[in-house]
Structure 1
Amino acid sequence: MRQTSSKFLVLVTCNFILVVSALTQPRPADDNVAKSCIPRERDALLAFKQGITNDTSNMLASWRRGQDCCQWRGVTCSNRSGHVVKLDLPGSLFSAQQYYLVGQISPFLLSLEYLEYLDLSWNALTGPNDSIPQFLGSMKNLRHLDLSYMTFSGRLPSFLGNLSNLEYLDLSYTSLSGSIPPQLEWFPPFRLKEARFSFCQMGPLFPSWLKFLEGIEVLDISSTGITGHVPESICDLQGLLVLDLSNNTFYGGLPQCFRMPNITFLLLSNNNFSGKFPLPLQSCSSLAFLDLSWNKFSGSLPIWIGDLVYLRFLQLSHNMFNGDIPPTITSLKVLQHLSLAGNSLSGAIPASVSSLRAMTQKVPVETMDDILWHIRQVRPFKDVLSVVMKRQELKYGETISEIVGIDFSQNHLTGGIPDQISSLTGLLNLNLSWNYLTGKIPEKIGDMKSMESLDLSRNKLYGEIPPSLSDLTYLSYMDLSYNNLTGPIPSGRQLDTLYTGNPSMYDGNSGLCGPPLRRNCSGGISTDSGNQSTSDTDSEAQFFYFGLGSGFTVGLWVMFCVLLFNKTWRISYYRLFDKAYDGVYLFVVVAWGRLAKQAAAE
């Protein structure tokens, strides 16, 4: 029994010693516990703040000495080391709340040697001589550098080539020029995944070093002054998801090797590309956004365009395409914007247009998430889609999900408007103007409840305007001018409002009648139609003059009858007339005598 008790005491004692030693032993640091900022890096940030001469919205108000810099606005520290790893201070010049920084970029930022992310975009910050500060080329840990929409000028700095870890570089919308560096066969040390140089004047030659960026996913060299053919070396960039070559002077066609199954956004607008519809695009099976507008492409549209099943936005306007609209284009189930305007297309509008399912209802926001991601990659804060709507060129960026439309204007289309088009109830914009369309406006056009802009002008449409047109309560622009429409104009508050804003919307249709036109439907010109206020004013004036004339006539006849049948009044009237006559005669004679005397005296 004693032996058992002794063993129990020994066991309890050992456990007690183990617990005490575990409690008193120093614990390793928890990686998830936030670290306080390092004093040297806090001083560097405060020195950066000293270089700011204007902080319009107090972006840096939280940057105060004696406080933890890891808690300051725009500053992120590593939980493991406490070093500043991210400085995110983008300004905003065009939002509802404008805020931006003005001043110099302090070289003390070089003390942030572990900095991986630097965004100073949309600010008025510069280096010496308005150039990018050279010390940025020594920040070797940078992975993300965004200096877009800033006031830099001069040449693209070659020292940016020293940033071997760089994956993201945005210098767009600055006044920089040249290349990084100017040498033709320079091999970049970095492995960029996203590069944006829009409005940097990098031309006229295509930057040869871009061909080495085999892992790049987003490349924007729009509006960079580049001219010539697209080099075949671009075909080596098989990881491309987004390519923007718009607003340059590229000519010829795409290289035959341009077969990129992963590319989602391809923007080639506003160049001098020519030739037939690019055949290599048949292999770009992931395309969701294709913009070939404002070029010199010609020939017919290919039947295989219907195989690009992920297309949501197709811009082929203002080229020289001819022939019929291929019916296969209506098999694109997710297509929500189709513009073929400004070409030489002929034939009829395909009756299968009703197969465009994405236009039959408003596109759910959740289905746009992937597209919006790519839009932000192409041009953050920048409009990516240009749409002619309500006779205006409207720009859409991140609001691109809102546009659902068809624009076939300025072609040579014939035949009628297919009745099936009325099933596209999600359509916001329908523009069929400047064609040779005949027939009647579809009776069920009023079913297109989402319609905001309707332009059927400059065609050969005939018949009456469907009464259902007045059911389009969201309609804010309509033009039916210069057709052969006849009959009464449907009534409705919405149509009356549209006429007030666009009084020429019915011009060139001599057979139309009824309000708000001055031509009544029984023939002749209506004097009480048109502007209601003018009509009311004219009526009041007519009543006034009629009453005045009637009163004068009645009064004159009453006085004549009284003088005729009442002798006393007649004698009194003649006496009054004689006295008045004598008075006037005497006044004239006396006045004449005075004037004669004055003339004789002179």
Structure 2
Amino acid sequence: MTSLTHLNLSNAGFEGKIPPQIGNLSNLFYLDLGRNGLFADNVDWVSSLSKLRYLDLSGMVLRTRGMSLPTHLGKMTSLTHLDLSNVAFSGNIPSQIGNLSNLVYLHLESYYMFPQNLHWLSSLSKLEYLGLRGIYLSQSFHWLHTIQDLPSLMHLRLSTCAFPHNNPPSLFNFSSLLNLDISASTVSFVPEWVFGLKTLVSLNLRSNNFGGPIPGSIGNLTLLENLDLSHNSFSSSIPNALYRLHHLKILNLESNNLHGNISNGVGNLTSLVRLDLEGNSISGTLPRSFGKLLSLRSLDLSNNQFNGNPFESIGSLSKLVNLQIVYNCFKGVVTEDNLANLTMLQQIIASGNNLTLKVGFDWYPTFQLFNLHLNSWQLGPNFPSWIQSQNRLQNLLMSNTGILDTIPIWFWEHFSQVSYLDLSRNQVHGELRTTLKNPISVHSVDLSTNHFHEKLPYLSNDVYYLDLSNNSLYGSMDDFLCRNQDKSMALEFLNLASNNLSGDLPNCWNIWPFLVDVSLQNNHFVGNLPHRWNLLSRVFPTSLKKNNQLIILDLRENNLSGTIPLWVGEKLLNMKILCLRSNNFSSHIPNEICDISLLQVVDLAENHLCGNIPTCFNKLSAMRLRNRSRYSGIYFESYTSDYSFEEMVSVLLWLKGVGIEYRDILGLVTSIDLSRNKLSREIPREITDLHGLIYLNLSNNQLSGQIPPREIPLTISKLSFLNHLDLSYNHLKGKIPTGIQIQSFEATDFVGNNLCENGEHGVNWFFVSMALGFGVGFWLIVAPLFIYRSWRYAYFCFLDDMWYKLQSCW
């Protein structure tokens, strides 16, 4: 196809080697092979494409070890666009690229480049876009001053660059720069020269280490339309200087430490289209001037400390499409009038507030929503009939909303294609089976903690998550489990705990091959367990070997025996929770468990395990660092043919001797519980490398005096994140180390050992008995003298007489 002038194969999913025959297409003006999975041994074929003006090889891998970019790129003088972003190669960037005097666009992103000198950039007088993303900028970076003289440069991207000494270069004289990106770099402070770039339209300083107040000099950038300061550590309140940026369309201050109130000056930002303040500590009510932001389409105030009724301030924002205000202190009554002008709303994410929706029975909203999250609002006592007007809903969350009603018959048919439905923690009642006109086909259904009764509902194959726990459902599981034996069901999570289900467990689990988590506790089942449930037999289920995507393995309180198999650590490398508590496992803890680096909960308590605690526990990297993730749950991902979604799982964990069900913060829990076994020898020092460990329970074992120097390791006192430590009832000796964290624990955490406070060396019972005898004898004589005056008089007369006689003898 030698006459071809334009070839675009970008994002096509190609893999493998780039065919060098592309070099035969000598008439090409435009070639884009970017964003595929391609590699090459060399790119010498490019030199044949002398007419090329546009070349994109982004994402390509130069496979030959030590391969650098070819110098003949500098001979392609017709090029105006060269994109080598994220190209895997080594060595310097060839200076011959400076010969490409017609270049308008140059992107050299790579995490493998360590350029020493880029002075040749000054030759690219027509350059408008320069991307140096991810490049290590060496200590001699004075060459960067040369790019400030590029007369046409409008877009400069230095994101994820490694600047020496955490300092960006000093650049002052850009005369035409419109966009500057220094996001996710190693810069530790906002360079002052940035605020002299009066022509800037877009400034991205996202994900750096900036702290302190937002500099007031940012108000000098009066032409800014896009400002991103998110994911830093800026503190104090939002400066009034920001409110002078009248052209701002996008303002992102997400995930900082901002506090204080929002002033009325926010009303000056009348051009704002998107405002994101999520994840700060901003408080107070929204000022009335919020109503002036008539261009606003997206507003995110989530995870702050705002109070008052936000809809009194934002009710006039007729262009608002996305509203997110979850987890604040908002309170008050939201009326029809507050919502009347919000005609373009498509998403209301407002859970975790103390708001009440008070509308008429025949209210018909002016908006059509895709997502509605109103958990913890007051919507009841009647089921909100206005929901029927929402024909596009994909996610509906109305948990803990005070509904005391039955689910209307129209509901299941009307919302049969909702992806996620949560009506939990209400007092919804009725008979699920008879109120369902069609089988449930919602992907995820949570109706837990309600007053449903009668039998279990039928399910369609679309359901992946079903939680009906804490209701009054009764009857057997036969119809529920075995109704459609001709096809496999897609359900992955099933929770029927705390109902009144009874009868035998039927043996048709073979049609439920995707089940990951099943909870049937607190029911009234009888008979034998199905033979397919080798999970509950005496032998560890070898069928789990194939489940290499398993995240949680909970086999507590069964009758499993034998050894913990080595393949648990060899095959289940994605596991985060391992709970084998209250079984009959014996022998030692296999070292292979340490290969599961994602493990954050290890509960092997109440077995018959012996031997030493593995010294390799410091390989559990999930426990080495404090988990500061904002997303604190643990999720498993479900798929359909055209859709994927994540579901949060819950697990009952025994911490501090109490069983607590963790769900929303399960991802933040780190725990090792090896209590009530027969483990011996010393506590390995390697366990003290787990600086993110919150709970450690080694009580009721036989751990003993091989701990040098026969004491609790002093390094344990450095585990400042440790919330609970239990070493009781072992054979430990010596003194308890000092440290703020250790001293905060209870005495019962150390009982049943031969331990003492720091600086002491055990109890000397001779001195204890001597002191006790002295005290008893002293008070037997002295106490009566305090009580009886005559005894006291006689006693002192006796002493006086004895003193007189002694003097006479001398």
Q: Same fold (TM over 0.5)?
A: yes
Tell me what 2:83 maps to: 89
Equivalent runs, 1:228-243 vs 2, <5 Å: 228-243=212-227
Deviation at 1:221, TM superposition (A): 0.4
| Structure 1 residues 302 and 326, CA gap change in structure 2 (3 angstroms) | farther
Instruction: Tell me if structure 2 keeps the 8 A contact 1:132–1:152.
Output: no
Tell me what 2:582 maps to: none
Deviation at 1:411, TM superposition (A): 1.1
- Matched residues in 1 for 2:319 and 2:308: separation? 24
- Matched residues in 2 for 1:136 and 1:278: separation? 49
Instruction: Tell me if structure 2 keeps the 8 A contact 1:143–1:168.
Output: no
Q: Deviations over 1:158-188 (max 9, x none)?
A: 4222212232101223444634425xxx633
Instruction: Tell me if structure 2 keeps the 8 A contact 1:293–1:317.
Output: yes
Candidates 269, 282, 296, aligned match of 2:281? 296
Amino acid at match of 1:221: L
Instruction: Tell me if structure 1 keeps the 8 A contact 2:137–2:163.
Output: yes
Structure 2: 5+ residue runs without aligned partners?
1-35, 58-75, 459-466, 486-502, 508-810
Tell me what 2:410 maps to: 468
Amino acid at match of 1:506: L
Deviation at 1:299, TM superposition (A): 0.5
Larger radius of gyration: 1
| Structure 1 residues 56 and 418, CA gap change in structure 2 (3 angstroms) | farther
Deviates more, 1:432-441 or 1:413-422: 413-422
Tell me what 1:168 maps to: 155
Deviation at 1:538, TM superposition (A): 6.5
Tell me what 2:713 maps to: none
Q: Deviations over 1:531-550 (max 9, x none)?
A: 24179996999xxxxxxxxx
Alignment of 1:506 with 2:411, yes or no, is no
Instruction: Tell me if structure 2 keeps the 8 A contact 1:527–1:535.
Output: no
| Structure 1 residues 212 and 238, CA gap change in structure 2 (3 angstroms) | same
Deviates more, 1:332-341 or 1:152-161: 152-161
Tell me what 1:108 maps to: 96
Amino acid at match of 1:206: V
Alignment of 1:486 with 2:429, yes or no, is yes
Equivalent runs, 1:320-399 vs 2, <5 Å: 320-352=305-337, 353-359=339-345
Amino acid at match of 2:398: L
Candidates 70, 73, 76, aligned match of 2:55? 73
- Matched residues in 1 for 2:38 and 2:506: separation? 59
| Structure 1 residues 85 and 254, CA gap change in structure 2 (3 angstroms) | farther
| Structure 1 residues 420 and 156, CA gap change in structure 2 (3 angstroms) | farther
- Matched residues in 2 for 1:191 and 1:535: separation? 68
After TM superposition, the score normalised by the length of structure 2 is 0.47
Instruction: Tell me if structure 2 keeps the 8 A contact 1:449–1:474.
Output: no
Deviation at 1:413, TM superposition (A): 1.7
| Structure 1 residues 414 and 154, CA gap change in structure 2 (3 angstroms) | farther
Alignment of 1:206 with 2:206, yes or no, is no
Tell me what 1:262 maps to: 247
Instruction: Tell me if structure 1 keeps the 8 A contact 2:342–2:367.
Output: no
| Structure 1 residues 419 and 188, CA gap change in structure 2 (3 angstroms) | farther
Alignment of 1:527 with 2:468, yes or no, is no
Tell me what 1:426 maps to: 368
Tell me what 1:279 maps to: 264
Deviation at 1:88, TM superposition (A): 2.5
Q: Deviations over 1:198-249 (max 9, x none)?
A: 101222x321001110010000001111111112211111100000000111
- Matched residues in 2 for 1:418 and 1:133: separation? 71
Amino acid at match of 1:321: F
Q: What SS is found at the alignment partner of 2:344? A: helix
Q: Deviations over 1:498-556 (max 9, x none)?
A: 3xx546x111112455542999xxx9833367624179996999xxxxxxxxxxxxxxx
Instruction: Tell me if structure 2 keeps the 8 A contact 1:175–1:199.
Output: no
Amino acid at match of 2:422: D
Tell me what 1:453 maps to: 395
Q: What SS is found at the alignment partner of 1:478? A: strand
Tell me what 1:441 maps to: 383
Tell me what 1:584 maps to: none
RMSD over aligned CA atoms reads 3.5
Q: Which has the higher contact order (CA 8 A, sep 6+)?
A: 1
| Structure 1 residues 531 and 208, CA gap change in structure 2 (3 angstroms) | same
After TM superposition, the score normalised by the length of structure 1 is 0.62
Amino acid at match of 1:171: L
| Structure 1 residues 420 and 162, CA gap change in structure 2 (3 angstroms) | farther
| Structure 1 residues 190 and 133, CA gap change in structure 2 (3 angstroms) | farther
Instruction: Tell me if structure 2 keeps the 8 A contact 1:288–1:310.
Output: yes
Instruction: Tell me if structure 1 keeps the 8 A contact 2:351–2:375.
Output: yes
Instruction: Tell me if structure 2 keeps the 8 A contact 1:515–1:529.
Output: no
Deviation at 1:327, TM superposition (A): 3.0
- Matched residues in 2 for 1:254 and 1:141: separation? 40
Q: What SS is found at the alignment partner of 1:257? A: helix
Deviation at 1:472, TM superposition (A): 2.0
Identity %, equivalent residues: 23
Alignment of 1:497 with 2:483, yes or no, is no
Amino acid at match of 2:248: I
| Structure 1 residues 539 and 408, CA gap change in structure 2 (3 angstroms) | closer
Instruction: Tell me if structure 2 keeps the 8 A contact 1:302–1:326.
Output: no
Amino acid at match of 1:238: T
Structure 1: 5+ residue runs without aligned partners?
1-53, 76-81, 93-99, 360-403, 542-602
Tell me what 2:745 maps to: none
Instruction: Tell me if structure 1 keeps the 8 A contact 2:283–2:304.
Output: yes
- Matched residues in 1 for 2:423 and 2:119: separation? 62
- Matched residues in 2 for 1:66 and 1:540: separation? 71
- Matched residues in 2 for 1:125 and 1:540: separation? 59
- Matched residues in 1 for 2:380 and 2:173: separation? 60
Instruction: Tell me if structure 2 keeps the 8 A contact 1:349–1:418.
Output: no
How many residue pairs were aligned? 416
- Select the structure that is richer in helix: 1
